[in-house]
Each structure stands twice: as C-alpha cells, then as structure tokens.
Amino acid sequence: MAANTNRYSTYTTASVGSGTDSKNGDKTEKKDLWNSMLSSVASGRRLPEKNIILLGGTVDSQREFFETLSNNDLRRTLDRNASRMPPVANSFALGYTYYDVLDADQEDTLARISLYTLTSPSAAFASLLQPLLTPQSISNTLIVVLLDWSQPWKWMRQLREWILLLRTVLVSLSNECKETMEEVMLAWRDRGRGGGTNLDGTTAVPTADGEMDLPVGPGEWEDALGLPLCVVCQNAEKMEYLEKTQSWKEEEFDVVLQFLRTTLLKHGASLIYTTPSVPSQLPTLIHSSLGIHSLLKKQPLKHNVIDRDKVVIPPNWDSWGKIRVLRDGFDVDLVSNGWSIDLDQPFPRPLENGTEDENEEVDEDSEHVAADPEGSTVALYEESVQDPSMDALQLAGRDTHSTALEVETIDTQTFLGQQLKVLDAFKQKNEEAAREESRQKPHKKMDDDLVIDHDQKADARVLEHIGPVQFNMGGIQVDADDMVQRLKERQAFGSSSQPESPTSEEALDSTSHMDTENLQAFFHGLMNRRGAPAR
C-alpha cells in the first residue's frame, strides 16, 4: 500500500505542472490588463489643476471676485454638501480657496482652480509666492490684479508695485522655471496672430501670404513677465458717482483707459471692467486664459471698448493705433517709455532718507515714499487724474506724487502758551490806554472849568459895559434885570412852598412856566428895543 501510494506518473505530473503554470500566467496577464485599464480610467478622470494668483484689492473685493467666478458654475444638485461653496481664507498674508469649473450641462467637471490671494505688495511676502511657481505649475497659472473704481487715481502706482513684486519673485526662480516661462510667453504671444490657437480655443487661421505669425506692433510684449496677466477693475458703477460728485467727464474716463491699455500692452495683459450683480465676460476671460473650454458650448470672447462700464480688452487684441483713436492728444510713446522707467527701479524702492522699507507694508498714503523718477508714467498719470482730496495740498505746493492728507499740529500746551502771550500783550495795551486816559482827565476838567469861567467873566464884562437896562412903565422907572430876578425867585418859592398833588403841581409848573416865559419875553423885548425913551 505504501509503495502504491508513493508511485506517481511522470506524465501526469508534467501535465499538471504545465497546466498550473499556464493558469498563473493567465492570471498575471489579466491582472496587468486590469491595472492598465484602471490606470487609464483614473488618469482620464483626474481633474486638470489650474492656479490663479490674485493680487490687490481688499478681503471683501477678493471674495466678490471669487463669487463672480464660482457662483455660475456651482453644480445643481440636491446634495447640499456638493453645492456648498468652499471657505475663503484670505484674512492673513497669503490666502487660499478653490472651486470646480463645470461644463454647460452642470454635470461634468472641467477643471479645479486654486486661488492664492495676497492684498499687500510687501517685499516680505515674496517668499510666499515663490513656492507656488514650479516648472509644472507655471503653464497652468494666471496672475490677476484687482483695482477699484473708488480710487482710480491710485491705479498706476498700485499696478507698478505689484509688477515690481512679481519681477522680484520671477527673477529668483530656477533656470528650469525660467525656461518654462519663456516657452509660455512665446505661446501666448503667438495666440491670435495666425499661429497656434486663439484665446477661446479655436484654431488660428493662417494669413493669406502663408505666414503663420503676424509681426508684433510697437509697444507690444516689450516687457513680458513670464506669466499671463489680467487686470480686473471692479465696481464700475462708481463711475457715475465720479460724474456727479467729482465732475468727471468722458475725457477723464478715456484718459484712464488709455493709460491702462498702454501699460498693459507692454506685458501682453488683458483688461476688464466689472460691476457687482451684473453679468460680464469675466468667467469667460479667466477660464479661457487658463485654457479651460467647454466641451458642449463655445463661449467666444468679444472685445468691448464702446460701453465704458463694460470694457473688455483680450490679450493680443490691442495696439497703439486703437489706443490713439479713443481720444486725440494722447502720447502713447511717452507713456510707454515712462512705464519702462518706472519698472527700472529697485524693489523695495529706497525711501527719501536712503533706507529701504523691508519690514513694513507699502503705505501709499504715507509721505515717506520714494520720489518718482523723471519721466515716470505714474507721475504723469497722477497729474492727469488727480485725487480730489489732494486739491488743497497741491495748491499749497505739496508734491503731486504724494497722496498723503495730513495736518501737522503743535502740542496743546505749546499752543496755550502762545495764546497766553497774546492775551498778556492785549492786557498790557489796555492798561496803558487806561493810565493815559486817567492822566488826561484832570487837564481836561481844568480846561472845561476855564472855559466856563471865561464865559461867565465875558458876560459880566458885557453887563458892566452896557450898564443896567431900565424902562418907563406907567410912569414908573423899572429895572429889567431886577424884574427878571424877582420873577425867578417867585417861581422857585412857589414850587417849593406848596406841596401839592402831582396833578396840581404839574398844572402849577406849567402855568408858572408859561407866565415866566411870557414876562421874560416881554422884558427882553423892551431891553432890545432901540430908542426906548429913558426918564
């Protein structure tokens, strides 16, 4: 039994062994096939990742920009968690949020966009932006600068600070990143010029003479940053407020637009005006700039320079000729060269005292800012578009580039001390005037007494000269002066010796006054009558 149990067929063993190996091989092949299929499906379902570096604005304006891009693309579903907007963390330094771009049917996700936000162009934040730019992310990154119509007179200065910060970051990248940026800029420069693809994803049509690339015009792509740039001017509804309160006219709005278009043309950047709660081409411009296109519905990007509050300038569309047409008298060449001078400055720029502000944020309203170089576009812009709050300071001879509105005051105690000196001077002056007046009073009184005494003596001398006046009355010789004196004594005696009621006293006084006046008039008439017979 034992021998039988240990006996086996070599054929059977070989057959069984060969069958087992074949089965293991089939399983391995099937396993590799499934892995490859799953890998292909996973790679097909992997979302393209795009990045937006959002610069400028405030915490609220950045949230508003994010809502404008994401609200229309939220998935329409009963699942509240799926339709909930992701939080926006942009209160401190470098902020972050994200959202998914959905197709026209709100079913398929085209890409996921990550937004990195920064509100202050401080040199201290340059190290936060540098890790975001890698050879893999550069081709999928867009720079967006936010400006606000509440303060359009600060736009050129704000834009210069952001571009200087970006150039500082881009220069410090590795050589591999710089090569990638050069390729990206070449591809962007060829978009819409007869080669490659347009911004909306359509294929560019070759020119009639067979050339694929159109020549670059003057002022175009002279200072490419290495990344695509888009400038968004928010709150365009405040243009009406500027008209009503600041007396802005079409000329001012055209000048602002001409400056923006001329400077952005050097970087190949795009421009758009937006208004809250008003549909615009902002999502189309941003998504097409990132290479995100709908598979179901084509959304062409149209330029607009007619509606002043809905301006849209796509990249590679503008030119010096189109800028000049907007309004005559604008020197495009001067502004373009001045912008190159502005960007040829160190960052952070040295202050007036020779130091650099490396630890503090850039304060545009501070007086301690570096002076603008000669021929600066920023200075030229602020002369053309003046800050209304700076009119008084400009009339006082302040620098036009400074946007500070400060009043220097002295210490309270110093001010009160100065006023005390003024009051003491007035008090001393009044005391001297009073003393002078008191010294002059006795002399004045003596002069008055002398005048009265002199008048009395003159009357006495006259009476002595003419003598007593006498006249004959009924055969009796009467002295006129003696008669007048007696009448006065009688009137005085009558008024003092008879205390009567107010009514009788008034009647007596009036009667005596009348008799006395009549008698005095009678006797004066006798004295003045010439040729009176004297007996």
Residue 117 sits at φ, ψ, to 5 deg, of -115, 145
Q: Is the pLDDT of residue 3 over 50?
A: no
Ordered DSSP codes for 197-221: B-TTSPBPPPPTTS-SSPPP-TTSS
Cα gap 355→348, rounded to integer Å:
10
- Quick one: 448 and 500 in the same domain? no
- Quick one: 348 and 431 in the same domain? no
Residue 246 belongs to some domain of the structure:
yes
Q: Which domain holds residue 511?
A: 471-528
Cα gap 521→244, rounded to integer Å:
85
Q: Look up residue 304 and give its DSSP letter.
A: B
Cis peptide before 502 (omega within 30 of 0): no
pTM above 0.85, yes or no: no
- If DSSP codes are grouped into helix, strand and coil, which group holds residue 361? coil
Q: How far lies 50's CA from each of 43, 138, 140, 198, 318, in Å?
A: 16, 9, 5, 19, 26
- Quick one: 316 and 460 in the same domain? no
- Quick one: 322 and 450 in the same domain? no
Residue 371 belongs to some domain of the structure:
yes
Q: What's the number of domains the chain is made of?
A: 3
**Crossing angle of helices 155-171 and 377-384, rounded to 10°:** 160
- Quick one: 488 and 434 in the same domain? no
Q: Is the pLDDT of residue 320 over 60?
A: yes
Cα gap 417→423, rounded to integer Å:
10
**Residues 137-186 pLDDT 10s:** 999 999 999 999 999 999 999 999 999 999 999 999 999 999 999 999 99
**Residues 48-76 pLDDT 10s:** 899 999 999 999 999 999 988 886 444 44
Residue 34 belongs to some domain of the structure:
no
- Quick one: 51 and 169 in the same domain? yes
- Quick one: 386 and 482 in the same domain? no
Residue with the larger pLDDT of the pair 387 and 352: 387
- Using a 10 angstrom Cβ sphere, with 0-12 exposed, 13-18 middle and 19 or more buried, the burial of residue 59 is middle
Residue with the larger pLDDT of the pair 348 and 209: 348
Q: What end-to-end distance do the CA atoms of the chain give, in Å?
A: 215
Cα dihedral sign, 7-9-14-19: negative
Residue with the larger pLDDT of the pair 247 and 233: 233
Residue 303 belongs to some domain of the structure:
yes
Q: What is the pLDDT of residue 31?
A: 62
Residue 498 belongs to some domain of the structure:
yes
Q: Domain boundary residue among 395, 429, 457?
A: 395
- Quick one: 462 and 476 in the same domain? no
**Residues 428-448 pLDDT 10s:** 888 888 888 887 766 666 666
- Quick one: 246 and 375 in the same domain? yes
- Quick one: 151 and 93 in the same domain? yes
Q: What is the pLDDT of residue 265?
A: 94
How do strand 109-118 and strand 270-273 relate by DSSP bridges?
Answer: unpaired
Residue 40 belongs to some domain of the structure:
no
- If DSSP codes are grouped into helix, strand and coil, which group holds residue 473? strand
Cα gap 521→535, rounded to integer Å:
22
Nearest Cα neighbor of 123 from 349, 458, 435, 389 is: 349
- Quick one: 382 and 437 in the same domain? no
Over residues 189-197, mean pLDDT: 64
Residue 32 belongs to some domain of the structure:
no
Q: Domain boundary residue among 467, 485, 509?
A: 467
Name the pLDDT band for 1 (thresholds 50, 70, 90).
very low
Ordered DSSP codes for 109-148: EEEEEEEEEE----GGGHHHHGGG--TTTGGGEEEEEEEE
Name the pLDDT band for 277 (thresholds 50, 70, 90).
confident
Query: Which residue's entry shows tokens 């190290």?
Result: 127
Cα gap 35→223, rounded to integer Å:
48
Q: What is the pLDDT of residue 436?
A: 84
Cα gap 236→226, rounded to integer Å:
29
Residue with the larger pLDDT of the pair 266 and 88: 266
Mean residue pLDDT across the chain: 77
Identity of the amino acid at 301: L
Nearest Cα neighbor of 317 from 424, 199, 407 is: 199
Q: What is the pLDDT of residue 28?
A: 61
Tell me the H-state helices in 367-479: 377-384, 391-395, 412-466
| 335 token code pair | 């502004």
Q: What is the CATH number of the domain that holds 289?
A: 3.40.50.300
Q: Is the pLDDT of residue 111 over 80?
A: yes
Residue 382 belongs to some domain of the structure:
yes
Over residues 304-318, mean pLDDT: 92
Q: Domain boundary residue among 337, 363, 395?
A: 395
- Quick one: 460 and 475 in the same domain? no
